[in-house]
Amino acid sequence: MWYVLTRHEFFNGGPKTRLKAVKFGCWKSSVTVNYKSTFTGTYTLKVIDGGAPSILTTTIAGPEDLHNGKYFRITVVWLNAHIPGWYLCIECKFFRIKLYIARHCMVIVIPPIWCNHILGICGDWNTDPLNDETILTIPVSDATPWGPLVEASSPLWPWP
């Protein structure tokens, strides 16, 4: 099993949000990224990679190799995404999934085998999956409506 969970915060008085934290897990291992409240702040990572937790920090200002463990490889790379720039790249080696994150966005690169098994991606909080994702291997009409938006704790990531 693998999963990606996000927490958001309002900025500039809302209703816009930005990432506050991201948790990427596979099996009993995970990488949790917490952001400072400033746009160019330090990212703090809690890495549980088949053993005891370790804490890493980065400012994502240039290329960097942060971790290469049993389940995860973590680097800082340049990405020509919607907003080009330096992104934290967390690769789940077992499932061959890559998660690219910056303060303003997140990009998930998923092998075709997982494309029909995705739930919960919602980019604009309107609960309509038809305008949130682009999967070239399946028609968008195959998406089903997401459930109601909830600010609840998850068993995978209890709310403090």
How does pLDDT run across 67-113, given as a tens digit for each residue? Answer: 999 999 999 999 887 788 899 999 999 989 999 998 777 888 888 77
This prediction has a pTM of 0.74
| Same domain flag for 88 and 129 | no
Q: Provide the 10 A C-beta neighbour count for residue 50.
A: 11
pLDDT in the model for residue 59: 87
Sheet bearing 97-101, strands edge to edge:
64-68, 72-79, 85-92, 97-101, 106-109
Among candidate residues 92, 109, 126, the one where a domain is terminated: 109
| Same domain flag for 93 and 37 | yes
| Same domain flag for 91 and 121 | no
Question: HSE of 44 in the Cβ direction (CA atoms, 13 Å)?
Answer: 7
| Same domain flag for 41 and 66 | yes
In terms of phi and psi (left: phi > 0; alpha: psi -120 to 50; beta: otherwise), the region of 60 is: left
Count of structural domains, the chain: 2
| Same domain flag for 81 and 32 | yes
**Contact predicate 47/31, CB 8 Å:** yes
Among candidate residues 90, 109, 128, the one where a domain is terminated: 109
| Same domain flag for 104 and 121 | no
Q: Which residues pair with 128 in a beta bridge?
A: none
Say how far apart CA 152 and CA 55 lie, in whole Å: 26
Local confidence band at 143 (pLDDT 50, 70, 90 cut-offs): very low
What is the extent of the structural domain holding 40? 2-109
Show Cβ contacts of residue 14 under 8 Å, excluding neighbours closer than 6 positions.
Answer: none
